[in-house]
Structure 1
Amino acid sequence: MAGAMLVLLAACKIPILRDLIGPEVLTAGDHLRRLLEGWQRISGDPTSPSVDQSVQIICEADRFIRHVYATDN
Structure 2
Amino acid sequence: MTKEYIFTFDTISQALKFEKDLKKINIDVKLMPVPRALSSSCGTSARVYSDDEEIIENLNKLGLIYHEYFIM
TM-score w.r.t. the length of structure 2 is 0.34
Higher helix proportion (structure 1 or 2):
1
> Normalising by structure 1, what TM-score?
0.33
